[in-house]
Amino acid sequence: MSDFLAIEKYVPHRGSMLLIERLLEAGEEHAVAQVRVARDGMFVQQQGVPSWVAIEYMAQTVAAWAGWRAVENGEPVKIGFLLGSRKFEAMQAFFAPAAVLRVEVRCELVGSNGLGMFDCQVFEKGLLVARARISVFEPGDGAAYLQALESEGNKNE
């Protein structure tokens, strides 16, 4: 464990889409991030932030892990994609505004093709409040990948 840079150095998210606050731990196969649940923003409802947003907290923690690894190896941080989730379970319907969450992710598999699977858990005050397994994809060149997708979409219009 070491001192970590500002979270923006590890993830490409900005503005209201940057949901994690800071990286607390990172290692070869795991990462831990802190989330302070937003008081306002696109996900906030009258009761708070819906617990399904935990999937994005998990995905951004995986992005921070990948970004941390890239920075540690002197490589650029890459764009990644959340492909899906399995076995999502939330122990409450909403997260209260300003609640502090601990998001833990553990790498189960990362293939040479950029596909990965992570076991994820979210805790509030030491209690498990959400968990899931998420699938991610980190292409070799994210910008070229997005451009190719856009070109393919334009052909189909």
pTM (2 decimals)?
A: 0.89
Residues in the chain, overall count: 157
Q: How confident is the model at residue 1 (pLDDT cuts 50, 70, 90)?
A: very low
Residue 143 pLDDT > 70:
no
Residue 153 pLDDT > 70:
no
Structural domains in the chain?
Answer: 7-155 (3.10.129.10)
Residues forming beta bridges with residue 122, ordered by sequence position: 103, 130
pLDDT in tens, 78-114: 999 999 999 999 999 999 999 999 999 999 999 989 8
pLDDT in tens, 16-66: 889 999 999 999 999 999 999 998 888 999 999 999 999 999 999 999 999
Residues 6+ apart with CB under 8 A from 11: 18, 20, 60, 63, 64, 67, 77
Residue 15 pLDDT > 90:
no
Residue 155 pLDDT > 70:
yes
8 Å CB contact between 54 and 122: yes
Q: Which residues of 45-79 are buried (b: 16+ CB within 10 A; e: fewer)?
A: eeebbebebbbbbbbbbbbbbbbbbbbeeeeebbb
Q: Which of 39, 29, 37, 86 is nearest to 57 (CA)?
A: 37
